[in-house]
Amino acid sequence: MDLTVVVPVHNEAGNISPLLTEIQAALAGRYRFEIIYVDDGSRDGTAAELVEARDRFETLRVITHLEACGQSTALRTGIRAARAPWIATLDGDGQNDPADIPRLMDVLRAGAATSKLRMVAGFRRKRQDSELKRVSSRIANGVRSTLLGDATPDTGCGLKVFSRGTYLELPYFDHMHRFLPALVQRAGWDVTSVEVNHRHRRQGKSKYGTLDRLFAGIIDLLGVMWLKRRARRPEVVESDHALE
């Protein structure tokens, strides 16, 4: 298994089959891959659509949270269950383009072979969102990047590829998905960003409001700043000979 695609979903009925079809088309023949959908306590027709999709997509695995736990927890559930060393994540609303995954994977694998690169983050330069959402995200990204120094222009993009092993070493907390580049850097690894396509939402509504993201984001940002200040990465040398 080369790659596991993890897609967290909550009330995304109508978006399941179209996105799965695109993921399959983007990756078939390129990788040995699996797709893990984590249904985070949906209360619409998402579960039924996933059951139906399992009969049509042999690469699909479905994991269900009986109650909604949030995007970070859903991602962690899927990543822990993954069988591949490389992970790609996508939002379940169809705004991320699966056709971008191979390009990000090429950058990641080349960098991992020659350097400390362990994550490639998507950068939605041309966002297909409301003006309010674009402005608020631009401000939030600017503040976060300044305070954390993560040099990542768009941490909110759901499209990322990274090392499963690196992710599992990171400190876990709710909303951590918004700070993954900074956390990967804190662990001593490199992150780069690549421009990706961004599309209009097919169906349904966004799960995030501006105010709740603002208040939660401030608290989380302070926590990640604390984690960065407390990080220690010792230089380790292993002796060539056993101690006598």
Asked if the structure places residue 81 within a domain, the reply is yes
Pairing of strands 117-123, 86-89: unpaired
**Average per-residue pLDDT for the chain:** 89
Residue 242 lies in a domain: no
| Boundaries of domain holding 81 | 3-230
Within-domain flag for 76 = yes
CA distance 198 to 225: 29
Structure tokens at 186: 């804190």
Q: Any alpha helices (H) in 200-242, and if so which ranges?
A: 210-230
> Is 112 within a domain?
yes
Helix axes 16-27, 101-114, angle to 10 degrees: 50
For residue 216, how many C-alpha atoms fall within 13 Å in the half-sphere facing its CB?
14
167 and 179 Cβ atoms separated by less than 8 Å: no
Q: Is residue 103 part of a domain?
A: yes
Mean pLDDT of 117-126: 92
In a domain, 240, yes or no: no
First vs last Cα of the chain: how many Å apart? 42
Does some domain include residue 180?
yes
Report the pLDDT averaged over residues 40-67. 97
Structure confidence by residue, pLDDT tens digits, 176-227: 999 999 999 999 999 999 999 988 877 766 655 554 555 567 788 888 888 8
What CA–CA distance (Å, rounded) separates 49 from 19? 12
> Residue 241 has what pLDDT?
62
The DSSP annotation for 107-172 comes to HHHHHHHHSSEEEEEEE-SS--S-HHHHHHHHHHHHHHHHHH----S-TT-S-EEEEHHHHHTSPP
Tally of structural domains, the chain? 1
Helix (H, G, I), strand (E, B) or coil at 120: strand
Tell me the HSE value of 226 on the side-chain side, using a 13 A CA sphere. 7
**Do the domain assignments include residue 241?**
no
CATH code at position 172? 3.90.550.10
Model's pTM, two decimal places?
A: 0.87
Count the helices and strands in the chain (H runs, E runs): 8, 7
Rounded distance between C-alpha atoms, residue 11 and residue 152, angstroms: 29
Q: Cβ atoms within 10 A of the Cβ of 37, count?
A: 28
pLDDT at 217: 74
